[in-house]
Amino acid sequence: VGVLGSGDFARSLAIRLVCSGFKVVVGSRNPKRKAGLFPSAAEVTFQAEAVKKTDVIFVAVFREHYSTLCDLADVLAGKILVDVSNNTEINHHKESNAEYLASLFPACTVVKGFNVISAWTLQSGARDGNKQVLICSNNQEAKRTVAEIAQVMGFTPVDMGCMSSACEIENIPLRLLPAWKIPIFLALGLFLCFFTYNLIRQVIHPYIREQKNKLYKIPIEVVNTTLPCVAYVMLSLVYLPGVLAACSQLYYGTKYRRFPDWLDQWLQHRKQIGLLSFFCAALHAVYSFCLPMRRSHRYQLIETAVKQALEKKMNVWVEEEVWRMEIYISVGIIALGLLSLLAITSLPSIANSLNWREFSFIQSTLGFIALVISTLHTLTYGWSRAFDENQYKFYLPPTYTLTLLVPCTVILAKVIFSLPCIQQRLLRIRRGWEKGRYVKFVLPSATGEYSSGETSSNV
């Protein structure tokens, strides 16, 4: 196998190829200077020499320098060129790098591949990091040859079709968290809404009504009352699209009708939404843990103690408050534990070790239990505040009452769906039954002969 270039990628590629048992010839413009960088088993020579000796050549050179290889056109004729290059921007050029290479060397067969693998992954082997090598070419035979090389190197070749896919393959390493964009914007949007709402209630209201400066609450208290709201609502948004999908299936009486695009997208982003919910819940736990460390908290404690002493109050134990806090913290810890379990099992390496039933039990059943326990956590936090008119700052209800809306809707819907009459119908629909679809049936007649007819499968 030949490698043109002696940079980071070429070096890692040569090491991996040598380790996988290939005879490697590296083509460099300055072989003497670069030879020491390669394993001794690899031959480092001039570009033309390397090309002459090999049939499959990896072009580990940037696109901008492809034209400098044109002198090699004659020796390259009839060989397979593997384009491993990446761009610096998505859709940077009109044509993909591989198509450009093919246009410069029409007598060669060009295969796009290995660009999604970093030099580091190549060196450390296919044990860590990405294992998939996306390959495309207009020549099936050449594609198969490169796929075989990838397989021997320990990677998983993925056939991406013909050369027109090269652009898409080249864009993959440049995309920044494509599946996370919508969930992140959703989380940020919710955070901003709840943060503003809490800021009005906790900082702006006391300032306007009582001229009290509560700005110190912004970095920790306001953030810490916002984070659980986001975590809780995001968790309910993981289960809401499932409820909407079930409603649609019940309404239309079929599972074969396509969901609207927005619902499809939402269903596909549930994992990311769930992980962001876990992230916010974990931050909330850390923030809550740090609340007693604040100076403001200590001053308030001393202030209360002094007041009680002056009022000669000895027993300040409020049984109901004690119980409320014990239960509130306990269910909070359980909810966080369940969320951690959901997050861990959504990792591909763990998810792959579970069968479908185990995965669905954890993600669906335990996830729903986590939502119910989070609701208990929220209710024990809010307790009777919803019925206390002092809690309605500027007529705004306590934040926790707002957060309960979506999760309670989801829980209620799930309870309704678990009623035997609805559950049975949903189950039948999900096994292929359709409303109003007529099926042929055959019945024995009174005379013992069989007569055929049609009836609705509803019957």
The minimum distance between CB 86 and ligand NAP, in angstroms, equals: 4
CA distance 57 to 84: 11
In this chain, which stretch among 17-25, 104-112, 113-121, 310-318 interacts with ligand NAP, using CB under 6 A?
Answer: 113-121
Residues in contact with ligand NAP, counted by CB under 6 A, come to a total of 21
Q: Which stretch binds ligand NAP (CB under 6 A): 56-64, 225-233, 306-314, 443-451?
A: 56-64
Q: State how far the Cα of 329 lies from the Cα of 451, in Å rounded to an integer.
A: 68
CB of 337 to ligand NAP, least distance (A): 39
Q: Which of 1, 3, 6, 22 binds ligand NAP (CB under 6 A)?
A: 6
Least gap, CB of 50 to ligand NAP (angstroms): 10
> Would you count residue 10 as binding ligand NAP (CB under 6 A)?
yes
Q: Contact with ligand NAP (CB under 6 A): which of 46, 62, 359, 383? A: 62
> By CB under 6 A, which span of 3-11, 226-234, 343-351, 393-401 interacts with ligand NAP?
3-11
CA–CA dist 183, 272 (Å, integer): 6
- The residue range among 111-119, 123-131, 313-321, 413-421 that interacts with ligand NAP, by the rule CB under 6 A, is 111-119
Site string for ligand NAP, 197-226 (x = CB under 6 A): ------------------------------
109 counts as binding ligand NAP under rule CB under 6 A: no
Which residue's beta carbon is nearest to the bound ligand NAP?
Answer: 7
Strand 2-4 and strand 132-137: the pairing is unpaired
Mark the segment that binds ligand NAP (CB under 6 A) among 55-63, 196-204, 329-337, 406-414: 55-63
Angstrom distance (rounded) from CA 51 to CA 242 = 57
Query: Is residue 115 a contact residue for ligand NAP (CB under 6 A)?
Result: yes
Using CB under 6 A as the binding rule, whether residue 300 contacts ligand NAP is answered as no
Using the rule CB under 6 A, give the single segment among 29-37, 291-299, 314-322, 394-402 that binds ligand NAP.
29-37
68 is an interface residue for ligand NAP by CB under 6 A: yes
Angstrom CA distances, 322 to 304, 317, 319, stand at 17, 8, 5
Among 86, 198, 226, 378, interactor with ligand NAP by CB under 6 A:
86
Exposure string over 350-387, b if 16+ CB within 10 A, otherwise e: eeeeeeeeebeebbeeebbebbbbbbbbbbbbbeeeee
The size of the chain, in residues, is 459
Within positions 117 to 156, which residues make up the interface with ligand NAP, using CB under 6 A?
A: 118-119
* By the rule CB under 6 A, 84 interacts with ligand NAP: yes
Mode of pairing for the β-strands spanning 43-46 and 25-28: parallel
Instruction: Output 66 or 368, the one with its CB closest to ligand NAP.
Output: 66
Count the Cβ atoms, other than its own, within 10 Å of residue 88: 8
* Alpha carbons 154 and 132: distance in angstroms, whole number: 10
Sorted by sequence, the CB contacts under 8 Å of residue 443 that are 6+ apart come out as: 450, 451, 452, 453
Query: How far apart (Å, rounded) are the C-alpha atoms in residues 325 and 350?
Result: 35
132-137 and 156-159: which strand pairing? parallel
Q: Is 30 in the site for ligand NAP (CB under 6 A)?
A: yes
Distance CA 146, CA 57 (A): 10
Distance in angstroms (rounded) separating the CA atoms of residues 183 and 277 = 10
Residue 131 and residue 121: Cα distance in Å, rounded?
Answer: 9
Report the 10 Å Cβ neighbour count for 255.
16
The answer to whether residue 368 forms part of the interface with ligand NAP (CB under 6 A) is no
**Residues lying near ligand NAP in the complex (CB under 6 A):** 5-10, 28-30, 34, 60-62, 65, 68, 84-86, 115, 118-119
